[in-house]
Amino acid sequence: MTPWPYPAYIAHRGGGALAPENTLAAMRVGFGHGYRMVEFDVKLCGDGTLVLMHDHTLERTTDGRGRVAALTWGEIARLDAGSWHSAAFAGEPVPRLDSVARFLIANGVACNIEIKPCPGRERETAAAVAVEAQALWAGAEIPPLLSSFSERALEVAGRAAPDLPRGLLVDEPAEGWLLRAARLGCKSIHLNHRHATPERIATARQAGFRLLAYT
């Protein structure tokens, strides 16, 4: 098994439940609590800018409405992505990938970028994330780990930036899950913790994969 540069514990969406997810504030909170790796979601907005956002729509985590893919960066940049969490984070903006990259690199924090395409945008989102991540982390000691539930996205990312490691996100393993990860050239499999049985962990490791559990 190849060397693995990433720490064992990863802060989900930056700061877990302690801060508004997928914001710079969340990254600061995770870092402040001692985490040296964070996970976050990235998708394309309407003008091709890469932004941190989990949902395809804005309502749950911002004061905006509608589809992320239908808005420009200028429109998204004006949204409040913090008040839904608590008054302490009122006015926290939706960040772009490049601003998060600068913070993480400056503070020596590794990351897992989940490619989270809006419906029908798997190919363009994956290519954009891979190319921009490769440029932003050029020369970094630890490269970003790209992951996705979308096999098409991982395939495209692998062609666009073959040197960046990739991980296949899996909820409940179906037949051929390890073969699919191998075909995609993945280094890791990210498995729902409810299905991370000792047998599956052992099988994945025997096949040469690192296994990460998400909650």
Residue 12: predicted pLDDT = 98
Q: Where in the chain is the domain with CATH 3.20.20.190?
A: 16-164
Residue 56 appears among annotated catalytic residues: no
Phi, psi of 167 (to 5 degrees): -135, 140
Give the mean model confidence (pLDDT) for residues 16-23: 98
Beta bridge partners of 166: 146
Residue 207: predicted pLDDT = 97
- Considering only the top CATH level, what class is 16-164? alpha beta
Residue 193 appears among annotated catalytic residues: no
Q: Of the listed 54, 56, 190, 193, which one is catalytic?
A: 54
pLDDT digits (tens, 9 = 90+) for 80-113: 999 999 999 999 999 999 999 999 999 999 999 9
> Which two tokens mark 140?
């970094």
> Which two tokens mark 207?
């096949």
Average pLDDT, the chain: 97
Residue 111: predicted pLDDT = 99
Give the mean model confidence (pLDDT) for residues 13-20: 97
pLDDT digits (tens, 9 = 90+) for 31-51: 999 999 999 999 999 999 999
Contact between 147 and 166 (Cβ < 8 Å) = yes
Cα–Cα distance measured from residue 207 to residue 183, given in angstroms and rounded to the nearest whole number? 12
Residue 3: predicted pLDDT = 85
The one-letter amino acid code at 191 reads L
Give the mean model confidence (pLDDT) for residues 173-184: 96
Q: What is the 3-state secondary structure (H, E, C) of the chain?
A: CCCCCCCCCCECCCCHHHCCCCCHHHHHHHHHCCCCEEEEEEEECCCCCEEECCCCECCCCCCCCCEHHHCCHHHHCCCCCCCCCCHHHCCCCCCEHHHHHHHHHHCCCEEEEEECCCCCCHHHHHHHHHHHHHHHCCCCCCCCEEEECCHHHHHHHHHHCCCCCEEEEECCCCCCHHHHHHHCCCCEEEEEHHHCCHHHHHHHHHCCCEEEEEC
Q: Of the listed 12, 85, 190, 193, which one is catalytic?
A: 12
